[in-house]
Each structure stands twice: as structure tokens, then as C-alpha cells.
Amino acid sequence: MKLKIAVLAGDGIGPEIMEQGVAVLSAVAEKFGHEVTYKEALCGAHAIDEVGDPFPEETYQICKEADAVLFASVGDPKFDNNPSAKVRPEQGLLAMRKKLGLFANIRPVETFDCLVHKSPLKDELVRGADFVCIRELTGGMYFGKKQEPTVNAEGVEDALDTNYYSRPEVERILRVGYQYARQRRKHLTVVDKANVLASSRLWRKVAQEMMGEYPDVVTDFMYVDNAAMRMIQDPKFFDVMVTENTFGDILTDEGSCITGSMGLLPSASTGSSTPVFEPIHGSWPQGKGLNIANPLAQILSVAMLFEYFDLKEEGKLIREAVNASLDQNVRTPEIQVEGGAKYGTKEVGAWIVEYVRNKKM
């Protein structure tokens, strides 16, 4: 297969983990006889510094013309505490999602037996947890009508974010949820706040109408506050969870901590145009240039990329290599066992590349 990959390394540790992700992608492609070409593009704070736009038109065109986007991270401390900043790195991420029509964010949450001790949850709660969070990505408060802080006619400063959803937006993300549930354990949990929010009542109404189309899937409903509690009390309850943009943002970060490290989990964003594959963690500017960032989430995002194109053996090999690296304690500092050898971002990536190259098929 021929694949054109847009490479958006972004900010902070992004370039370091991206280097390892691309190296693994190239090694797997070579092993299986695929032809892969790469085109790098600016995004985030780096793009603001270079051209004043966190998602420039040139970057959009490169993404649009690619078969897939491999993305790392955006974010820079100089923008974090400046509420008056007109342009922010994260606006580039939102623009990419909107322009590429990426309405479905798929985040698997899967524990690794050798790292269960790193989880903040008890072993008996977290061991065997394996579920998928599906977050609607282009609607809700993140994209609804806004009013920045301003002084109103009564002399009181106020602001506004509108949590807008339409029936077609809700239907299409629910169908993604049902498709994943059918491929897994046939259990879909719709998360909303229908006892308070009108937008959530639309979600629940649409989901209740669609349930009959998927009689093989058990559908249940859960308020978002209860879902957050249940993820900590009983994460093994969930199979596939589907929810709106804001709730999904919060719950997926909560889910990522179950595994013991945010550096372990990949994600995919899909929709009407080029899919994007990225780790769920941020840019971690404090770790920039120190060769300590965990590249495994970026590398597992490459596995999801291959699997998206139905290249299952390629994805399987990457997952096998990642598991082997963990089992043999080839790990970056935040997940290394006490007294274990020191490995950095580059060393972990190189080890996995060698595993791929030397694996007899």
C-alpha cells in the first residue's frame, strides 16, 4: 500500500516523540512492503511564532491531501496565563478538527498488567479494565456561540458559551459508538446530563430512538457525574462510552489516569476527511529536550493508523513490540521499575524499531 502521511510534531515534547513514531512507522512499512511518504507541517505555538496562525492554510492543505495525519501535541506556557491572548496554540487543534470534519474522537483505555501498580486505583479494580471512550469532537460548547468576558448593561462582567447540538450531529456520533460496541462486547453507555441540560435531553431522545436499530447491543444511560464516579469505582463496567464534547474531554483524561501514565494511550479522530492519530497527552513543555518523554502513546497511535487502513498485522506487530518493551523494562523514567536501567525517549523508540526489524514473520 502507498500512504501519504502529514506529520505535525507541534510543540513541547512533540518533535521528540514524533521522531520515534515516524521511525516505527517506517520500520513497519519497510517490513510489510508499504511505500510511505511524509510531509511535515506547522501547527500550534510553533506555527504562531513562524506565521502567526496555529493552523495555517498551508498546513490544512497538506493534511487534506494526505491519507492520514500523525499528530503529536500543541501548547506553550507563554499562552497559558494570558487571558487576553487573541491567538492560542489550542485554537489550531480545534481548527484542524473543524476543517477536516473530525467529529469522532476514539480513545481506547486499556491497562497493562506489568504497570497496574502504577495506577492510582487498587489492583483488583483496574486489572483487566478495557474500554473505549468515543467523544463528539466538533460540536458543543467548544464550537457554539461565544461571548468573551465583557461588562453588560447592568455593569456586571459576564461571558457566554453555548452548548449547541443538532440531531444529525448526535445521530452520527451515536452510530460510531454502536459500530464499536458491535465489534467489542456489545455494550454501549450513553453519557449525558439529561436531568439538567436541554442539549443532553436531545442526546437521550435520539439515542432512545436509535436503540431499536441495534438490538444486539445493550444500551444504558448514565449522567456524567455518575459516569465519572463509576470510572473510578468500577472501570471494568464499561465497554464503549459515547458522549458530547465537553464531557468527553474531561472523562477521557480521567480514563487515561487509570492505566498509570498518560504516556501510554493513543487516539484517533475520524470523520469526513483525513483521519488524525495522536497521543492523548499534552505538550509537557517541562520535559522538552530532556529525552525523558514516553513515546509509547505516539507509537501506539501509529498502530491505530495502520489498523484504520485494515492493516491489522502491522498494528498487531507494533502492539507486540510495545508490550515486549514494557515486559523487558525498556521504559522511560515515569514508568520504570525501581533500580531498572535508564532509557530515554530515543532509546525506547530505537529498541522498538529493532524489535520490529528483527521479528520473524
> Any idea which residues carry the catalytic annotation?
142, 193, 225, 249, 253
Under 8 Å CB-to-CB from 279, ≥6 apart: which residues? 17, 72, 73, 263, 265, 266, 267, 297, 298, 300, 301
Helices (H) and strands (E) in the chain, counts: 13, 12
Cα 129 from Cα 256, distance rounded (Å):
11
Contact indicator for 271, 102 with CB cutoff of 8 Å: yes
Cα 32 from Cα 186, distance rounded (Å):
32
Cα 95 from Cα 93, distance rounded (Å):
5
Cα 125 from Cα 263, distance rounded (Å):
21
Handedness of CA 273, 274, 279, 281 (dihedral sign): negative
| First-residue to last-residue Cα distance in the chain | 18
